Amino acid sequence: MSELTVSRHFVEAALIGAERTGFDSRALLRDAGISPDLLKIEMARVSSTQYSRLLQAVWNVMEDEFMGLGPRRCRTGTFATMCALVIDCPNLEAVYRRAYEFCRLFEPMVAMKLEVDDRAARLKTVIEGDIDDPMYFFRESILVIWHRLGSWLIGQPVELLKAEFSYPRPPHGDEYRHIFHCPLSFDAGETALTFDKRFLQAPVIRDKPEMRQFLKTSPADLLSRPDESNTFTGRIRALIGRDFTRSLPDFEWIATELHTSPQTLRRRLKQENTSFQEIKDLLRRDMAIYYLSRPDLPINDIAFRVGFTEPSTFHRAFKKWTGVTPGAYREGERGQLPD
């Protein structure tokens, strides 16, 4: 069924290092099942499965987990070795401290350092040496991988209180709302993630067989498939479901199912940088993109499946989401857009 989609920006950002080193980006895209033509559409998006395949293709062909963006080459297998070292840790605090010590073995160092005070815990990015990261992808990836790895190891998302970035808000900054689900601060002194320190004592619940399975698709899956199960955004997505041909549950019913008041739920969604309407709209957008990849489905049928009674209304909404009509988008996915 449909899944979360990934912005064209992150597709292009993931290819910068490979292109600069002389690799064929079009071949990498095709290996991932992404039409190079699709990237001609400014607001295009790809499925998380396609994006995960792309990242794995880039890592494998470059033999560099930093994808040509870091201060040095990071040989493939480095992340897996770090995971093998942290799987035996008793809790999240031990995971982050051991991971940092592992990263100190490499020079120049690239890591996140744990800082703890009376109120909160903070993961601060430490990057030694010069990097060539014009689209901020390298720095974003470090934040996302360390945060989501920790969440996976303890079996629950580490809810963030704040995300800080030592650079100006980038043009794709709106995407950060759906990545970090917390207040964002740009032009900060450091790049860091802050969370309640109670998470540090959460036990590691994964075992070595689970880790072996996890590493078949990670860290690519960590970047492409966030675990939203414990966020209000993710729980609402699950309650809404995927059947938009019937009446959707209203906000009051959703709040009751989540054992909270509508007022509290609105406040929590605001803290996660979203709203009930936006959650529904993005679900419709991602489902529409999924259905458009199926050539057997007429566009009018897709409009009905994603909850529009009038095809013309669907066309307007889809153009707002992606900048092009459903038909043009489908042509891009097929590789049939004119030059």
Residue type, 280: K
The phi, psi pair for 272, rounded to 5°, reads: -90, 10
Give residue 339's pLDDT. 60
Give residue 230's pLDDT. 67
Give residue 1's pLDDT. 47
Span 34-87, pLDDT tens digits: 999 999 999 999 999 999 999 999 999 999 999 999 999 999 999 999 999 999
pLDDT per residue, tens digit, the chain (339 aa), is: 457 899 999 999 999 999 999 999 999 999 999 999 999 999 999 999 999 999 999 999 999 999 999 999 999 999 999 999 999 999 999 999 999 999 999 999 999 999 999 889 999 999 999 999 999 999 999 999 999 999 999 998 899 999 999 999 999 999 999 899 899 999 999 999 999 999 999 999 999 999 999 898 888 888 887 666 668 888 998 899 888 888 889 999 999 999 999 999 999 999 888 999 999 999 999 999 999 999 899 999 999 999 999 999 999 999 999 999 999 999 998 877 666
Report CA torsion sign: 105, 106, 112, 113: positive
Determine the Cα–Cα distance for residues 328 and 339; give it in Å rounded to an integer: 13
Tallying the residues shown for the chain, one arrives at: 339
Longest dimension (CA), the chain: 60
Determine the Cα–Cα distance for residues 151 and 181; give it in Å rounded to an integer: 14
From the centroid of its chain, how far is CA 188?
22
172: three-class secondary structure by DSSP: coil
CATH of domain 232-334: 1.10.10.60
Residue with tokens 């190891």: 153
Determine the Cα–Cα distance for residues 327 and 248; give it in Å rounded to an integer: 26
Determine the Cα–Cα distance for residues 25 and 54; give it in Å rounded to an integer: 10
DSSP string computed for 214-228: HTTTTTHHHHH----
